[in-house]
Amino acid sequence: MFFDYTKYNAAQQPEYENKEELQEVIKELSSYPPLIFAMEANELKKDLAKVCKGEAFLLQGGDCAESFNDFNANNIRDMFKLFLQMALVLSFGSGKQVVKIARMAGQFAKPRSSDYEEKNNIKLPSYRGDIINSCEFNDFARKADAKRMLKAYLQSAATLNLLRAFSVGGLADLALINKLNLGFVRRDDIDSKYESLCHKVNEAIKFFESYGISSKNDSRLHETKIYTSHEALLLPYETALTRKDSLSDNYYNCSAHMLWIGERTRNVNDAHVQMLSRVCNPIGVKIGANANSSDILKLCEVLNPNNEAGRLNIIFRMGANKISNLEHILKDLSKEGLNLVYSIDPMHGNTQSIDGYKTRKFDDILQEVKSFWHIAKVNNIIPGGVHFEMTGQNVTECLGGSVNIKSTDLQKRYETQCDPRLNADQALELAFLIAELMNEK
Ligand code: PEP
Ligand code: CO
């Protein structure tokens, strides 16, 4: 076995009643083909090394949790289109390559703040994501079922297959960018901003064509690359999909290109950090408002002992009202000469409950991004990327934005299985605002 997680303290794991079945599932998963290859993870590391140097920008995003019920081609296509639109806005606005990493094809397991959920005096185990149990509130649904890992693997394989097909099969052709609209962009201002961007890109393409460079003969203009990522939370799944690369003899987690460790499982001596310290993929770690710089230095020692650029992505998620804690952290880290990607997740520190709905305000999200940006700049640190929970669908889960979702709208299309996501309008609007930040001197 690559790594015996049972020898370590492991937070946020389900209790499987049927141990024999768990072992059978692990055995079966271990025999399945890898979802990604070592070389692809290495390519991503190279792309992220460019982010470290400020030559590229990281856009990471997707659902809070993928679900078995919402698994269909249209949802995957719409998320893919949204990624392309946002990346276009960011790269055209900044002149930088945008590295796209989707929270897709494996983002199923969820850490929870409580092991149990209580409703009407009934206490049941918490929902931990479709790879573990089901979100309906009954005894049977909440039992951890190991076989769900096999279903999650198959859904991930099919999702990745479609993402790979879209990336090379015409949908990413720059000459067709006008056709990327998701069909419901209702805000005239975002719509017309996007149209004017498309117009400029079309002009640039015409200019290149006059030099014989066209999207018909240059794959850089008609293909794209989208990497996958998820929180490496469920230890039996992650270890079963970790494989030794025959070329380098190094281990890679082959369930996604990049894996991250959540805020609740980032203790350096515990199973999650120890497991990912033994694989060569690019790794992310979420850092909440209570962290200090020595926590991050310890994580760097264990997860990136060679200070390799592109290996480690520090994802801050402090909340708009606590982001000033970042000032002393970045001041300390700026003295260390660390090769890190610094990015901001402005979602998880800004969750609040309004009228019984878990939601987030667009203005808080924007404010946290802006503060991150300015604190980084003051400390000569490169703000390397953003990490969003978003969807290509027209949901009403986050408040505000030009599309002006109000608390009374929340019940209209509140579809998430877990945390509230930006809808496509709100996500695209943020991309325009971040492009402006990238251009600030
Ligand atoms: C998440 O990204 O969905 C998540 C749970 O993040 P965090 O660990 O930062 O709370
Ligand atoms: Co979330």
pLDDT of residue 222: 85
The 10 Å Cβ neighbour count of residue 54 is: 12
Counting ligand 1 atoms within 8 A of each CB, the residue from 233, 348, 389, 397 with the most, and so the one to mutate, is 348
Helix (H, G, I), strand (E, B) or coil at 423: coil
Which run of H or of E encompasses 10?
none
pLDDT of residue 369: 98
How far is 77 from 422, CA to CA, in rounded Å?
Answer: 17
Q: Could you list which residues have their CB under 5 Å from ion ligand 2?
A: 64, 419
pLDDT of residue 183: 58
pLDDT of residue 311: 98
Amino acid symbol at 264: R
Burial class (CB in 10 A: 0-12, 13-18, 19+), 190: buried
CB of 64 sitting under 6 A from ligand 1: yes
Report CA(262)–ligand 1 centroid distance (Å). Answer: 5
pLDDT of residue 169: 86
Query: Cα dist. 104→62, 81, 110, 181 in Å?
Result: 6, 14, 14, 21
Helix (H, G, I), strand (E, B) or coil at 397: coil
Domain limits, the chain: 5-172+223-438
CB of 263 sitting under 6 A from ligand 1: yes
pLDDT of residue 387: 98
User: What is the phi-psi region of residue 319: left when phi exceeds 0, alpha when psi lies from -120 to 50, beta otherwise?
Assistant: left
pLDDT tens, per residue, the chain with 441 residues: 799 999 999 999 999 999 999 999 999 999 999 999 999 999 999 999 999 999 999 999 999 999 999 999 999 999 999 999 999 999 988 899 999 999 999 999 999 999 999 999 999 999 999 999 999 999 999 999 999 999 999 999 999 999 999 999 878 888 777 777 765 556 677 778 888 888 888 888 888 888 888 877 888 888 999 999 999 999 999 999 999 999 999 999 999 999 999 999 999 999 999 999 999 999 999 999 999 999 999 999 999 999 999 999 999 999 999 999 999 999 999 999 999 999 999 999 999 999 999 999 999 999 999 999 999 999 999 999 999 999 999 999 999 999 999 999 999 999 998 999 999 999 999 999 999 999 887
User: What is the phi-psi region of residue 301: left when phi exceeds 0, alpha when psi lies from -120 to 50, beta otherwise?
Assistant: alpha
Query: Cα dist. 128→11, 14, 64, 340 in Å?
Result: 13, 8, 12, 30
pLDDT of residue 219: 85
- If you search the block for the tokens 């998963």, which residue do you land on? 29
In this structure, the residue with its CA closest to atom 6 of ligand 1 is: 262
CB of 286 sitting under 6 A from ligand 1: yes
Query: Cα dist. 90→56, 171, 240 in Å?
Result: 10, 18, 37
In this structure, the residue with its CA closest to atom 8 of ligand 1 is: 262
pLDDT of residue 404: 93
Tell me the three-class secondary structure of 221-274, residue by residue: HHCCCCEEEEECCCHHHHHHCEEECCCCCCEEECCCCEEEECHHHCCCCCHHHH
pLDDT of residue 43: 98
User: Taking a C-beta distance cutoff of 8 angstroms, is the pair 423, 397 a contact?
Assistant: yes
User: What is the phi-psi region of residue 170: left when phi exceeds 0, alpha when psi lies from -120 to 50, beta otherwise?
Assistant: left
The ligand placed nearest to the CA atom of residue 103 is 1
pLDDT of residue 81: 93
Query: Cα dist. 143→140, 366, 440 in Å?
Result: 6, 38, 51
Which run of H or of E encompasses 190?
helix 188-209
- CATH dotted code for 5-172+223-438: 3.20.20.70
Report CA(21)–ligand 2 centroid distance (Å). Answer: 29
Report CA(108)–ligand 1 centroid distance (Å). Answer: 12
Token duo for residue 163: 């993402």
pLDDT of residue 338: 98
Report CA(75)–ligand 2 centroid distance (Å). Answer: 18
The ligand placed nearest to the CA atom of residue 418 is 2
